Structure 1
Amino acid sequence: MKKILPLLLVMILWMSCDKIKSIRDADEKEVIEKEIVPENIIEEKKVVKETHEIVIPDVPLGFLVTYEGKYAAREKLFENEDFASRLKSLDRFNYEALLKNYNTETPVSIVDNVVHMSGCRQHDCPASAYDFFIDLDNDNINIFHFRSNMLRVYQEKGFIELPPAFAKEMEIKKSNAGIGNTETTESKYEL
């Protein structure tokens, strides 16, 4: 027992010295990191984040910019009277089917003042999927409605010229859905 007690004391002292050293090393590392990153840069970043305001364009559907990064159905966009009335007035567009089938969705994105959002029937995107494009500059709505390997485009005032990223995405979706493919009727559409 007399031999174990001194050995135990030596081990406790050795472990506590390592603990103190690691705390001191961590404190030194923290000081070095603070010295490398000047505080005024951090303050400037905070100012930029705090002053970022959404500028709503003075156009009929300009309010849509407030939905960027959000989910249209979750935010009840389709219940907005102005937007809903525009959708309901599209020739041959079934607004009620949209409400029923738009329950899995992507967030709203905006490129070059063209708003894009997409949604589909939960667990069955190939059967009924929608891609919306709203040109804020020209006050125009286009809806691409995929049903299996068929595509119907609803347009309010003609086709919208899509920004390259959106155009590429639509070409991929058309290809996945088998649009224009006469060899199969199977759609692999995905949001």
Structure 2
Amino acid sequence: MGNLFVVSGPSGSGKSTLCALAADMDKKIKISVSATTRAPRGEEKNGVEYFFLSNEQFDEKLAEGDFYEYANVFGNRYGTLKSHVDSLTARGFDVILEIDYQGAYQVRDKNKEAYLIFVMPPSYEELKKRLTDRHTESEEQLNIRLAKASSEMEERVNYDKVIINDSLPDALGELLSIIESKRN
């Protein structure tokens, strides 16, 4: 039986990179695919980037209790299907859910064995630099993300483990070590 890990952190903390690298390095680690009601973009494929559901299908899954967590984001719904995650853990895979703290708390309510990991930047200044260096957002969007990041980082005290991502190899080693320790 595999384990369930929730990885959260503000934009720019490096959580997506850490999760992807961990799954690349250890074939017993899978990153959960979320369900969404939004339409596929470009080359996105059902079951790869997301499970694309109609609003009716999403409602059915909700009624069946098949979500570990879900949220409304910019007019679309997103969630983590229990059936998907549980089928992976039943086959011995460790599953990482990369979700925000509100979703993490929903998961913890439904699965007390879930292990919550919060990824932090080494400092607020470094976080600002990382987000600025992306060149993907306007100044206004950047300020919104930074304000959100500050409030998100306060939630780290509610997590089982905090990883400070000041060195990608060190942070990756720490994440893999946590996952390995839960296997034994």
With the shorter chain as reference, the TM-score category is under 0.3
Compare the two structures and name the one with the higher strand fraction.
2
Higher relative CO (CA 8 A, sep ≥ 6), structure 1 or 2? Answer: 2
